[in-house]
Structure 1
C-alpha cells in the first residue's frame, strides 16, 4: 500500500513539473491546427440562395443555400428579435451537428419580433428590422445591414464563408482531415473535416473589443492585413500557467462576442459555438474586417444592432441572460491563499484582520484542506473540526469558501467517485471507456456535464447532510474547470473524448466549465432552500473557466496572474473586455498569484482593485505570506485605506449590480461606453468608469510622481477626496503613494456607508451618506437599491429601490420606476439541464 502511495505521489509530482515547465510551444497555434490552416484567409466556394426556396413570414426568412462547387445544400434562416438579427446555417439536421445547449434563454423563440417590412427581388431580398435595413443578396450569399441609411455590417462581403459538410472518408483525402497529432497526442477526428468560417466587416470602424479572455489591449490590435502578421485571437479554454501580457493567446475562458464601435454606432457579433475558434482582425482606411473560424458546430450568428453601447449589452443580455444578483458579502473583500495550513492558521488570519482594523468578509480554503484531494472531504489532521471553524467565523459575520474542482479521484473508497462511476456519469475516451486523466489527486475521472442525470445528482452533493463538515455559511470555488488535465493535449481533455449521446468533446470544450459552474451553483441554490426556507439563499460560486451565459451563475477571475506591474496594468483591459461581453462580476488576483510583490506594487494593486467588481487577494503556495499587514506600517495603512474605500462604496456597487441584473450593463466601463462620441477615449484603457457616476485613473507605474488624467468634456467633474471641481480635458497631477485619482461626475448621486466596520454584516444597519455632484443646472440624480442581501425574496418584490433627485436646492427620494427588465426577474437565474434530444 505504501509503495502504491509513493508511486502516485511521484506521478503527481511529474505531472506538476510538466505544468511548471510548459512554455508557449506547448500550446497550438493556427499553423498547428489543420482546420485553421485550411480556412485562414481562404476565399470560400460560391454559396447561393435558391430564390424559389426563400419564404418570408412574420419574424423569419428561410431558404435553401447551395454550395455551387460541391452541390451540397444547407438550411438558412434569418430571425428578427428586438434589435438583433439571427443568422442560422446548418446542413441536414439528421446529421446531428452539435448545437450549443443551455446558453440561450429558454424563452428566446417566444420573443421574436416581426419584420417591419420586407420584399423579394430577382437578385436580393430586403428586410426591415426597426431602424435597420437588411439586404440578403442571393449569389454569392451576402448579408448587409445598414442603420439610418449608413452601412453598418456586412457578412460574406469578402466571400470567406466556408461550411465543411459532413462526409464519408475517401482514399486520397488530405492530411489532417481524419487525424492529426500534436506533441505526441493523436486526435482521431472520426467525423473528418467539419469547420466553418466567415468574414464580417464593419465599415468606417477602427475599434473592436471583446473576444475574452486574453491579456491584451482593450481595443483589439490587428492580426492580419497589410504589414501585419500575427497569431489570430484564439478562443479555447486552457489552463495557462503564468500567462504573458500583450498576447493574443486565449486563456481560461471564451466568449465569442465582439463589439464594434464608432461615433454614433455600436454593434455586436456573437457566434454561439463552443468549439475551438480563431478570429482575425484586419484594419484599414475603410473599416475593420473580422474573420472567424471554428472547428465544428453550426453557424448561429447574432448581429446586435445597437446603436448605443448600452443597447448592445442589453441586447446580448436578452439572448444569454443577465448577471446573477450577488449576495452582499460577495462584493466585499475576500482573503485567499494556496493554502491556509490548518484551522489554527485560518483563525490566526481571521484574527489578524481585526487586530489591524482591516475589513474582510470571506476566507478561502484551497485544495490542501481536503483529505487527499478528494473534494467534499476535510483533512482530518489539519481540519478536524470544520463546522466549529465555520461557525466561529460566522459568529463574526464572515463566510468560508472551499474549492471543488471537476476532476474526481479514481478511488472506489471515495464515495463521490464510487457513486458517479456506478451511475455512469463520467466522460468516456474515444473507445467508450471511462476517461482517465491526471490532475491534483493523480488518476482522475471527469463528470460528463452533458449527461442529464449529472445535474440532479451533483446538486444533491451540496446538501449539508451529504457534504459532511459543511455549514450554510460555506460557499464554493470551481477551479481547473477548462477542464485542466495535466497529461492531456494542451493540458486539457482530448477532443475525441465522448460525452452523453456520443457528442465529441471538441464540440463543447468551451462550454464544459460553464456547465460545471452552473451545476454547482444550482447545488448551492437547492441547499439554500433546505437551509434558509422558501426564499432560499443566493449561491456564490467562483469559476475560472467561462463561456457565454456564465454571468447567470456567478463570478469569475482572470486566473494565474503574476506579481508584476504589467499584469496589474493589463487587468483593467481584461476586466473591461469581460464586462462588455456580458460578464461584469469579475476580478483579478490582487498582488498577483505567482511571485512576491514589493510593497509599492502590492499597495498600488489594492488601490486599483478597490474598484474591481470582484475583490480577492490570492497567492501561490510557494510565495511569501502576504496578508495585508506584513509589509510595514505604511503599506498596511494604505492597504487598509484602499479596502475601507471599497466598503464605503458597497451601496453604490450593490445598486450597480441591481442594474446589471435587470439590464445587463457592465460595472467597470471603458470611457467610450459613457462618452460614445469622444474619439480620444476609444483606445483608452488606463482609466475607467465605475458605473455612470465615477471615473477612476489609478496610478500603475513604479515610482510615479505624476499621473496624466483625462476627463471627458460635456460633464462637470469633482475630486472624490477634496470635492474640488476639476477641469475637463487632459491634465498632469502630482501624485504620492497615497494618491488614487477618482472623480465624481456632475449630475449624479452616489450612495455610500462611511463608518469603518469589520465586514458587511456589521455595517448592515449603518446610515447612508449621499454624495451629490451637481451638473451645470445645479441638479443631480441617482439610485439606491437595498434588499436583505442574501435571499431570493427580492424576486417577490421584497426590496427598496429609490430614485434620488436633487433639484432647485431640494433632495427628494421616490420609488424607482425601472424600465422593463431584459428578462423576468423570477426566471433570470434559472438553470435548465443541457441535455439534448439525441434520440433520432
Structure 2
C-alpha cells in the first residue's frame, strides 16, 4: 500500500505542468506570518532599560522590556571588524533555549573597539570605526550611519515582535466557580487589539498537523533603508533582481527551502535556498543587512517613498529631508533576532564585509568551472562510454559527466547497480584518462532496508532525525520509505564524512565528486513536500528552528569527507540544491528544477545575480531547462547564456528527449560547440576571478552597478551583467530575436564588441544585430584579458598551452591593465604560495608584466602566443619584444585601421618571465 502511495505521489509530481501552489503555504495560511504582517506601524512597546546598561570595549549590553507583557529581553550591540555592527536580542529567561544559526558564519565574528560618544535618559550615540549608531531608549530604535550618512533604521515603524516561549494555560473545569464578584465581567479588548492566535499552539495544513508545545515563538523587526530606492538579494526567488513591492500587492518574499517542481517565474514564492541577506544601493552609498535566522522567514517590502518616515522624525541627515526610503519588514517563525549591519560605503565594501561574516567560495578545481554534461540518467556504463566518445568524435570539449539516482542499487546511495555499472572504478578511470571527472548523486534520504549498511548503521547509532514522539522520522522520497540523517549532530557529520573514503565508497576514486540533491530536505509525503516542523533533532531542537540550515549541514559534512579522503591534499567539488548563509564555503549551487521555456531562460540572470551578491558566487542554472523539451533555438540560446555564467552544466529530466549536442542538426551542433568553446577560451579569466573571489568576496558574475555604482540607469537592469570588471554580457533571451538593446555604462568609458571590435561609448544604448551565432559580449576599454584559444578535449589538457592577451585600450588609447592567476588547478598547494599571479599593464605604448603575488615554488611552461590590441589609432612602424632570455627582437604584426586592431604574433616569451613589448611609431 505504501509503495502504491509513493508511485501515486511520483506520478502526480511528474505530470504537474507548472507549480501546484496548493502544495505550498501562503502567508494567510501561516499563523506567525499573519500575526506579524497584520501589525500596523506605531509606537513600539519595547523599551531599553538605561539603568541596566553595561559598556565594554567592544559592545553595549542591556535589557529590553515589553511594556505590554512585562517580558524582559537581552540586548547586545557589538562593533565588528571592517566597520560592521551586530545586534542580538534574545529572551532574558526563556523556558527553553532558542536556536542560533551561528554555524552558518565563517567562525565567530571578530569584535573591535566601540566608543560611547554620548548618553542620557533618552539613549546614546556610539562610534565604531568610521561609522556611528544612535540608540533610542523609549521606544527602542537603532539608527545606523555610514560615515555621517544615516542609512538604516531598525524598529522605526514599531514592528518589532518577539513572541516568548510559554506554557499553555489549561482551560478551567466548567464547574469551577469564578473567582471575584459574581457580577464581574471581563473587559473586552477593542477589536483592533485582539491578536489572531489561530495556529499559535497547533497548526494544520492540508492533512498535516504541526504541534507547537512551546506556543508562538516568532521574531520580527522592521528595517528602513534611508536614501535608497533599490534593494536586492534574499535569494532564492524566481523574480526580478531589483526586489519588488510586496506589501499591499502580493505575499512577502518567503525564505523556506522547498522542493518546488517546475517553479513559476516572477513571484516571491520560496524555492530551494534561503539567504536572508539584503543589499541596498544608491548612487552614493551601498549597505547590507544580514538577518541570521534559519527558521522559515518572510520579508515584506514597501515601495520607496520620498517623504521618509525616518527623516521626518529626526534631523540627522544633512540637506533635505526629502529622501527616498525603502521600508522592509522581516519575521521568522522561531530563533532570535541576530542582525548584522554592513555599512559599506561602496558595493565592493559590502561584498568584502559579507565575505568576512559568511566566508567565500574556496578556489574551485579548474575542471569544475568548465562544461558539465548531466542527465537523469545515463543508463549504464556503455551509455557513459558512448557519450564520452561522442564528445571527442564531434570535437566538443567537456570536463565532467554526471550520474543521477538510477546509477545506484535501488536508490541506496554509496552503491552501484551491479547490472548497469558492474565496473564503476574502471568506468571512472576510462573517463579520467582524458583529463575528465565524474560526479554521482548522494541525497540525504536513506532507504529503510535492513540489508543496506548505511541504514543499519544509522539506525543502530541513533543517527536519524526523530518525529515528535521520539521515534525515527519516516518520510517518503525516491527509495520509498526513508530515514533522514540528523546532520545537526556533529557525530553524524563525522560519520557521514567517513563514508566518502575510498575504503567505504566502493567503486569510487579520487576523481569522483558529489552532488547533494533533495536536501531541503525533500519529503514527498510531508507538509509542503518537506519535513514536519515538529520533528526533533540532536540537542532537542525542533526542525522548525533550523529548517533552512539542513542543506548546508549536509554539504558541510560532504565537503569534509572529500577533504579527508585525500588527506587534505585535493580540492573538493560538490553541488548542492539547498543552500543557506555560508553555503559558498562548501561548493556550487544551481537554481533547481527549471523548465525549457524562454521565461525560465530569462529569469536565470536575475536569479544568479541575486545569489552572487549574497555570497553564493559559484552558481548556475540547468542549461536547456530540466523539464520539457527545448527546440533547437532555445537550446542554443541557453548554451550561449550558460557559457557566460559561473557554473555551466546541461541537465534534463528522465522523461525528456535526449539532447546531447550531436543529436541535433549540423548547424545547431556547431552553434553549441562554438558556445562551449568560448567558455573554454575564457577559463583563465574565470579562474582568476574565482581566485580573487576567495580573497575579497567579489563575485565573478556582477550587476552593472557594482562596477559603475553612480550610474542610475543600471539600477533596474537584470538582462545584462558584468563578468568581473572587464566583460559585459547581454544574452539573447527572446525567440526569433534579430537584435538586442544593450546599455553601455560608465562615464568616459569605451566598450568593444569581442567579435568584430566595434566601439561603443559609455552612458549610451545601442541596438546590436544578432544572428543565431551571435553572443553579445563586450570588453571594457582599459582592461586586459588572458585567453587560451587552442581547444582541447578537457581543460586539464590545456595546462601548458600558450596564452593570448586581449588588450582593450581606454578612451584615450593609452592605457589598459589586467591580471592572470595560474596554479596546478587541483590541490591546495596554492595556499603554500605555489602559484603565479601576474599583472599586465599597457602604458606609454608598452605592454609589460610583473608579479603581483606568488613565489618561485611554482613554474609554468605556458608562453605568450599572441597579443591583440584594440583601440590603437595609428599603425606602429615596429613592434619589439625585450626579454632577459634573448634581449630584443622585432615581431610580426598586422594592423587593421578600420577596426583600430593590432595583432602581434608569437612573442614567444614565458607568461611569467619579465618581458616588455614596445610599439615604435
Partner of 1:563: 596
* 1:769 to partner: Cα distance: 1.1
| Structure-to-structure mapping, 1:494-573, within 5 angstroms | 494-529=532-567, 536-573=569-606
Partner of 2:295: 275
| Structure-to-structure mapping, 1:31-70, within 5 angstroms | 31-43=28-40, 45-70=44-69
DSSP-derived class of the 1:507 partner: helix
**Are the counterparts in 2 of residues 204 and 285 from structure 1 also a CA contact under 8 Å?**
no
DSSP-derived class of the 2:386 partner: helix
Aligned match for 1:625, one of 640, 645, 658: 658
Partner of 2:819: 783
The whole-number CA distance in structure 1 between the counterparts of 2:328 and 2:107 is: 30
The whole-number CA distance in structure 2 between the counterparts of 1:114 and 1:155 is: 22
**Are the counterparts in 2 of residues 561 and 567 from structure 1 also a CA contact under 8 Å?**
yes
Change (3 A) 1:116 1:45: closer
Residue 313 of structure 2 corresponds to residue 316 of structure 1: no
Aligned match for 2:751, one of 696, 717, 720: 717
Residue 525 of structure 2 corresponds to residue 491 of structure 1: no
| Structure-to-structure mapping, 1:175-574, within 5 angstroms | 175-224=198-247, 228-286=248-306, 287-529=325-567, 536-574=569-607
Partner of 2:76: 77
DSSP-derived class of the 1:701 partner: coil
For each residue in 1:571-592, what CA deviation from the matched residue of structure 2 results, as whole angstroms up to 9, or x when unmatched?
0000000000001100000000
Partner of 1:138: 137
Partner of 1:813: 849
Partner of 1:100: 101
Partner of 1:797: 833
**Are the counterparts in 2 of residues 45 and 69 from structure 1 also a CA contact under 8 Å?**
no
* 1:119 to partner: Cα distance: 2.0
For each residue in 1:130-156, what CA deviation from the matched residue of structure 2 results, as whole angstroms up to 9, or x when unmatched?
332200000000001223433211100
Partner of 1:29: 26
Choose 493-502 or 741-750, whichever is displaced more.
741-750
Choose 68-77 or 171-180, whichever is displaced more.
171-180
| Structure-to-structure mapping, 1:145-160, within 5 angstroms | 145-160=144-159
Residue 193 of structure 2 corresponds to residue 170 of structure 1: no
Give 5+ residue unaligned stretches, structure 2: 172-195, 307-324, 855-921
Partner of 1:737: 772
For each residue in 1:584-630, what CA deviation from the matched residue of structure 2 results, as whole angstroms up to 9, or x when unmatched?
10000000000100000000011111111000000001000000121
The whole-number CA distance in structure 1 between the counterparts of 2:584 and 2:340 is: 18
Change (3 A) 1:59 1:686: same
**Are the counterparts in 2 of residues 400 and 474 from structure 1 also a CA contact under 8 Å?**
yes
**Are the counterparts in 2 of residues 11 and 442 from structure 1 also a CA contact under 8 Å?**
no
The whole-number CA distance in structure 2 between the counterparts of 1:76 and 1:713 is: 44
The whole-number CA distance in structure 2 between the counterparts of 1:148 and 1:338 is: 53
Instruction: Give TM-score, length-normalised by structure 2.
Output: 0.86
**Are the counterparts in 1 of residues 116 and 124 from structure 2 also a CA contact under 8 Å?**
no
**Are the counterparts in 2 of residues 12 and 441 from structure 1 also a CA contact under 8 Å?**
no
**Are the counterparts in 2 of residues 45 and 162 from structure 1 also a CA contact under 8 Å?**
no
The whole-number CA distance in structure 2 between the counterparts of 1:360 and 1:61 is: 55
The whole-number CA distance in structure 1 between the counterparts of 2:746 and 2:365 is: 36
The whole-number CA distance in structure 2 between the counterparts of 1:149 and 1:680 is: 26
Partner of 1:836: none
DSSP-derived class of the 1:453 partner: helix
Residue 807 of structure 2 corresponds to residue 772 of structure 1: yes
DSSP-derived class of the 1:88 partner: strand
The whole-number CA distance in structure 2 between the counterparts of 1:476 and 1:706 is: 40
For each residue in 1:621-660, what CA deviation from the matched residue of structure 2 results, as whole angstroms up to 9, or x when unmatched?
1000000121211111111000000000000000000011
DSSP-derived class of the 2:622 partner: coil
* 1:93 to partner: Cα distance: 5.9
For each residue in 1:77-101, what CA deviation from the matched residue of structure 2 results, as whole angstroms up to 9, or x when unmatched?
1001122110100013663111114
* 1:116 to partner: Cα distance: 4.8
Choose 585-594 or 750-759, whichever is displaced more.
750-759
| Structure-to-structure mapping, 1:612-691, within 5 angstroms | 612-691=645-724
Change (3 A) 1:206 1:41: farther
**Are the counterparts in 1 of residues 238 and 607 from structure 2 also a CA contact under 8 Å?**
yes
Partner of 1:14: 8
For each residue in 1:111-169, what CA deviation from the matched residue of structure 2 results, as whole angstroms up to 9, or x when unmatched?
21212552212211001123322000000000012234332111001000011111111
**Are the counterparts in 2 of residues 117 and 129 from structure 1 also a CA contact under 8 Å?**
no
For each residue in 1:214-236, what CA deviation from the matched residue of structure 2 results, as whole angstroms up to 9, or x when unmatched?
10000001001xxx421100000
Instruction: Give TM-score, length-normalised by structure 1.
Output: 0.94
* 1:8 to partner: Cα distance: 6.0
The whole-number CA distance in structure 2 between the counterparts of 1:247 and 1:107 is: 35
For each residue in 1:545-585, what CA deviation from the matched residue of structure 2 results, as whole angstroms up to 9, or x when unmatched?
00000000000000000000000000000000000000110
The whole-number CA distance in structure 1 between the counterparts of 2:244 and 2:618 is: 25
The whole-number CA distance in structure 2 between the counterparts of 1:810 and 1:219 is: 42
**Are the counterparts in 1 of residues 367 and 795 from structure 2 also a CA contact under 8 Å?**
yes
* 1:11 to partner: Cα distance: 3.5
- Matched residue pairs, number? 802
Partner of 1:828: none
The whole-number CA distance in structure 2 between the counterparts of 1:68 and 1:688 is: 49
The whole-number CA distance in structure 2 between the counterparts of 1:116 and 1:169 is: 44
The whole-number CA distance in structure 2 between the counterparts of 1:348 and 1:520 is: 30
**Are the counterparts in 2 of residues 458 and 520 from structure 1 also a CA contact under 8 Å?**
yes
* 1:284 to partner: Cα distance: 3.3
Partner of 2:909: none
The whole-number CA distance in structure 2 between the counterparts of 1:734 and 1:655 is: 31
**Are the counterparts in 1 of residues 282 and 710 from structure 2 also a CA contact under 8 Å?**
yes
**Are the counterparts in 1 of residues 464 and 472 from structure 2 also a CA contact under 8 Å?**
yes
Give 5+ residue unaligned stretches, structure 1: 1-6, 530-534, 819-840
The whole-number CA distance in structure 2 between the counterparts of 1:508 and 1:713 is: 43
* 1:102 to partner: Cα distance: 1.5
> What root-mean-square deviation, in Å, do the aligned CA atoms of Structure 1 and Structure 2 show?
1.4
Partner of 1:823: none
The whole-number CA distance in structure 1 between the counterparts of 2:702 and 2:361 is: 15
**Are the counterparts in 2 of residues 15 and 438 from structure 1 also a CA contact under 8 Å?**
no
The whole-number CA distance in structure 2 between the counterparts of 1:379 and 1:645 is: 37
Residue 623 of structure 2 corresponds to residue 590 of structure 1: yes
Larger Rg: 2
Choose 13-22 or 294-303, whichever is displaced more.
13-22
Choose 589-598 or 719-728, whichever is displaced more.
719-728
Residue 793 of structure 2 corresponds to residue 758 of structure 1: yes
| Structure-to-structure mapping, 1:812-831, within 5 angstroms | 812-816=848-852
The whole-number CA distance in structure 2 between the counterparts of 1:712 and 1:486 is: 47
* 1:285 to partner: Cα distance: 2.2
* 1:170 to partner: Cα distance: 1.6
